[in-house]
């Protein structure tokens, strides 16, 4: 029996992949909730806001940030495989939630635990959100990885912000519209007119958060190169 030693680079990949999957699955489970962003903007005399979006936008910028770091240090193929694995795990979550919905609740009088109506109201909608998210996730993640790789092939090791933000601008646009349409419009939870109001807000907010997280991309690069890869080996 051979002793297999996992090096720091491999442990880093396990951690980043785990964080990536956790954020993706969490986003699916919390997306059945609309929130209001108390922000008002005066644009050319037109008052915009407050804005309404889904609370599930919170983890997604982290997913795209992690996508860029994984792409940078482990390559396009690693991101592609991880995206497929994550989609499979989201589908697994979909199956488990579906089974949980079918099992009747044991109700205790006076208990604060969920009854069937409350449980199904939350997680029943999550079913369609998960279907939409799987479609949106695969399309947006694979597109993000391809664009990141293409921009890096043109710029080399320079302009980290350009390949990170540039790939996110396009991929999050696709993600925002697909997930809301399949997850909310198709099952009738959201009208098309509301969709056309919420989807752009969802996209812009995710984009703003992603841009604000750009310094973390540089920090991640610095920490990974200094303490993990020692500025030498990139795993491909």
Q: How many domains does the chain have?
A: 1
Distance from C-alpha of 17 to C-alpha of 67, rounded to nearest angstrom: 9
Q: pLDDT tens track of the chain, all 236 residues?
A: 556 677 888 888 999 999 999 998 888 788 777 777 777 766 556 666 677 777 877 888 788 888 888 988 888 889 889 989 998 998 898 888 889 888 988 877 777 778 888 888 777 765 666 677 778 778 887 888 888 888 888 887 777 777 777 777 777 787 778 877 877 787 777 788 888 887 887 787 777 777 788 888 888 888 888 777 664 444 44
Q: Report if residue 3 sits inside a domain.
A: no
Residue 174 lies in a domain: yes
> Domain of 186?
8-104+113-228
For residue 28, is it within any domain? yes
Q: How far from chain centre, in Å, is Cα 236?
A: 23
Q: Of 131, 107, 133, 129, whose CA–CA distance to 118 is shortest?
A: 107
CATH number for the domain harbouring residue 73: 1.10.1760
- Scanning the structure block, which residue is given the tokens 């986003």? 27
Q: Residue 131's pLDDT is what?
A: 73
pLDDT at residue 236, as a whole number: 42
Domain assignment present for residue 235? The answer is no
Closest by CA position to 184, among listed 205, 200, 169, 199 = 199
User: Does the residue 1 lie in any domain?
Assistant: no
Say if 58 falls within a structural domain.
yes
- The CA distance from 51 to 36, in Å, is 6
Does residue 127 fall inside a structural domain?
yes
- Structure pTM? 0.76
- The structure tokens 């792409």 sit at 71
pLDDT of residue 183: 72
Per the domain annotation, does 233 fall within a domain?
no
- What pLDDT was estimated at residue 229? 66
User: Residue 112, class by beta-carbon neighbours within 10 Å (0-12 exposed, 13-18 middle, 19+ buried)?
Assistant: exposed
């Amino acid at each position: 029996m051979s002793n297999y030693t996992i090096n720091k680079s491999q442990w880093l990949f396990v951690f980043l992949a785990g964080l990536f999957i956790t954020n993706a699955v969490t986003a699916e489970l919390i997306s059945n909730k609309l929130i209001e962003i108390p922000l008002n903007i005066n644009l050319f005399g037109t008052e915009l806001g407050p804005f309404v979006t889904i609370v599930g936008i919170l983890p997604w910028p982290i997913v795209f940030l992690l996508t860029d770091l994984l792409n940078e240090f482990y390559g396009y193929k690693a991101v592609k495989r991880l995206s497929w694995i994550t989609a499979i795990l989201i589908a697994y979550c979909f199956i488990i939630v579906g089974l949980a919905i079918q099992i009747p609740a044991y109700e205790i009088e006076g208990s604060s635990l969920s009854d069937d109506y409350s449980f199904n109201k939350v997680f029943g909608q999550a079913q369609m959100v998960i279907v939409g998210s799987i479609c949106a996730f695969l399309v947006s993640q694979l597109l993000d990885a391809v664009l990141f790789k293409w921009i890096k092939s043109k710029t080399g090791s320079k302009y980290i912000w350009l390949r990170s933000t540039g790939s996110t601008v396009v991929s999050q646009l696709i993600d925002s519209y697909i997930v809301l349409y399949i997850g909310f419009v198709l099952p009738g939870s959201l009208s098309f007119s509301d969709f056309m109001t919420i989807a752009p807000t969802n996209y812009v907010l995710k984009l703003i958060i992603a841009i604000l997280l750009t310094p973390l991309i540089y920090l991640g690069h610095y920490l990974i190169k200094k303490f993990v890869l020692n500025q030498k080996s990139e795993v491909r």
